[in-house]
Amino acid sequence: MKELKLPLTNEDISSLTLGEFVYLSGTIYSARDNTHQRIIEILEREGNLLSLGFSLSSIYYMGPTPARAGVVCGSAGPTTSSRMDKFTPLLLEKGLKVMIGKGKRSEEVKNSIRANHAIYFSTIGGAGAYLADRIKKMECVAFSELGPEAIYRLEVEKFPVVVSYK
Amino acid sequence: MRHINSDTIIEVVSKRVSEINFKIDDNILSCFKTAKVDSPEKDFLNILIENSDIANKKQIALCQDTGIVIVFAKVGVEVKLDKSLEESINIAVKKGYLENYLRKSVVVDPINRVNTEDNTPAIVHVELVDGDGFELQIMSKGGGSENASALWMLDPADGEQGIVDKVVARIKEKGMNCCPPLILGIGIGGDMEKSAMLAKKALFRKIGERSSVQRYSLLEQRILEEVNSLGIGVGGFGGKLTAMDVFIEIAPCHIASMPVALNVGCHSSRHCVVKL
């Protein structure tokens, strides 16, 4: 099984084929509905995302359960990606490269993925405990008031995904 | 009159509503283990089995979407409660979700989206029945599967074919999003809200449990076959097991109507029954 380090390069993306099962390791950021709304508001106001202080190049559509003491993170499976479709083309134009979630994407998003040489992976919906085991570090880095919808920086190791659109 | 103390209800409901989030139902687990599918679909099923083991062992929820709580209560007319049932259930949900690290997935207002912070309110349906029994059917329902659900006010002339067409088309469109292998609850008849309630209650049936009415038992099997021939498969990665079962519940309806509701259940299908 192929294992890739994040962030992915254009060469990494070109080397993958649709339907291929791969492991990802490195840094990803969680973001879902409310977070996307906030990010777009920042983009509209400031024209870029520099004020976030980190680069949103890899997004995981996920909102975890709270972590018990002594555990890195709670349950952490993917949420339905299509709810983020209306925000995605703009983020792709601003440098988003990798998305991980579950389910289909709109035609507009698929076209934008191709145009921006990005990639969309699906992972296993409902396998939140199994996927949490692949998250080795987790830290809230923005919008903490949104609770499960905050942005968390996640260090993942051998995170299983399937290439869905590129 | 039989008195049931609200503290008893709160204790049992808070415990059960948490437990169902940490271990997959035995009935579903055995369906995963015995499914006749090939690799790689089998590998994804094995991941779901491992997911349940990890959830149970480490007490990490099966799915990060620990749902909104729905309760169908049957309360005997000879039962006396010291507090409204809805209030007891909400106290129990708050306690269960806060103490067990379950996600708070309920917002106060559908447009302003501010989280209630304790996963309440639950959605409670109460039916008054004869006697002094007390039964709660409890479900933690995730948003992904609920969002794939639908309701159609069909014409009587649409018949069985109309029902099959709507359900199969809906799963073809949305099935990949809602964590297959799915369980489909279908309510036919009643009125708009009755059909929706029947569809959701159908999700409490056990895999393999057929409708007692032959016509609907056959219709369940027909829809199951058609849905499984869509090729969506476990996790939406392609394969034969898109749905584990289809359950139809019916009710009498108006001469002009044929309401049909589809409630989609994901593979975690967290539910239980509490009897006091």
- Helix H, strand E, coil C: the string for chain B is CEEECHHHHHHHHHHHHHHCCCCCCHHHHHHHHHCCCCCCHHHHHHHHHHHHHHHHHHCCCCCCCCCEEEEEEEEECCEEECCCHHHHHHHHHHHHHHHCCCCCCCECCCCCCCECCCCCCCEEEEEEECCCCEEEEEEEECHHHHHCCEEEEECHHHHHHHHHHHHHHHHHHHHHHCCCCEEEEEEEEECHHHHHHHHHHHCCCCCCCCCCCHHHHHHHHHHHHHHHCCCCCHHHCCCCCCEEEEEEEEEEECCCCEEEEEEEECCCCEEEEEEC
The owner of tokens 């509503």 is: B17
Which one-letter DSSP state was computed for residue A56? -
Partner A contacted by B178 (CB < 8 A): yes
With CA atoms as reference, the chain A residue closest to B144 would be: A80
Number of other residues whose CB lies within 10 A of the CB of residue A9? 12
Look up the CATH number of domain B2-19+62-141: 3.30.360
The minimal CB distance from B176 to the residues A75, A103, A147 is found for: A103
Could you tell me what percent of chain A has a pLDDT over 70?
100
* Residue A116 Cα, gap to closest chain B Cα (Å): 24
Cα separation, B246 vs B186, in Å, equals 7
Chain pair A-B, CB pairs under 8 angstroms:
127
With CA atoms as reference, the chain B residue closest to A66 would be: B101
Reading the block at residue A131, the tokens are: 């996927």
Contacts of A128 in chain B (CB under 8 A): 51, 55, 60-65
Contact (CB<8Å) A75/B177:
no
Confidence (pLDDT) at B96: 97
Contacts of B44 in chain A (CB under 8 A): 124
Contact (CB<8Å) B237/A162:
yes
Confidence (pLDDT) at A98: 97
What pLDDT digit, counting tens, does each position of A73-96 carry? 999 999 999 999 999 999 999 999
Mean pLDDT of chain A: 95
Q: Where does the pLDDT of residue B206 fall: very low under 50, low under 70, confident under 90, or very high at 90 and above?
A: very high
Cα separation, B173 vs A145, in Å, equals 34
What pLDDT digit, counting tens, does each position of B238-248 carry? 999 999 999 99
Q: Where does the pLDDT of residue A139 fall: very low under 50, low under 70, confident under 90, or very high at 90 and above?
A: very high
Confidence (pLDDT) at B150: 98
Contact (CB<8Å) A125/B62:
no
Partner B contacted by A72 (CB < 8 A): no
Listed range (A52-56, A119-123, B160-164) with the worst mean pLDDT: A52-56
Contact (CB<8Å) B103/A66:
yes
Query: Hey, what amino acid is at B248?
Result: I
Contact predicate A64/A76, CB 8 Å: yes
Contact (CB<8Å) B64/A64:
yes
On the question of a cis peptide bond just before residue A89, with omega within 30 degrees of 0, the verdict is: no
Confidence (pLDDT) at B174: 96
Query: Helix (H, G, I), strand (E, B), or coil: what is residue A20?
Result: coil
pLDDT at B61 over 90: yes
Contacts of B63 in chain A (CB under 8 A): 75, 77, 125-128
Contacts of A62 in chain B (CB under 8 A): 64
* Residue B270 Cα, gap to closest chain A Cα (Å): 11
The minimal CB distance from B54 to the residues A65, A125, A130 is found for: A130
Residue spans of the domains in chain B: they are: 2-19+62-141, 144-268
Contact (CB<8Å) A125/B144:
yes
What pLDDT digit, counting tens, does each position of B211-258 carry? 999 999 999 999 999 999 999 999 999 999 999 999 999 999 999 999
Partner B contacted by A27 (CB < 8 A): no
CA neighbor of B209 nearest in space, from B25, B45, B20, B27: B27
Confidence (pLDDT) at A147: 86
Domain that holds residue A66: 2-165
- Binding-face residues of A in 82-121 toward B, CB within 8 A: 82, 102-104
* Residue A131 Cα, gap to closest chain B Cα (Å): 8
Q: State the average pLDDT over residues B27-37.
A: 95
Partner A contacted by B48 (CB < 8 A): yes
pLDDT at B139 over 90: yes
Cα separation, B92 vs A143, in Å, equals 29
Confidence (pLDDT) at B113: 87
With CA atoms as reference, the chain A residue closest to B176 would be: A103
What pLDDT digit, counting tens, does each position of B151-171 carry? 999 999 999 999 999 999 999
**CATH number, domain containing residue A77:** 3.20.130.10
What pLDDT digit, counting tens, does each position of B116-134 carry? 999 999 999 999 999 999 9
| Tally of structural domains, chain A | 1
Tally of helices (H runs) and strands (E runs) in chain A? 5, 7
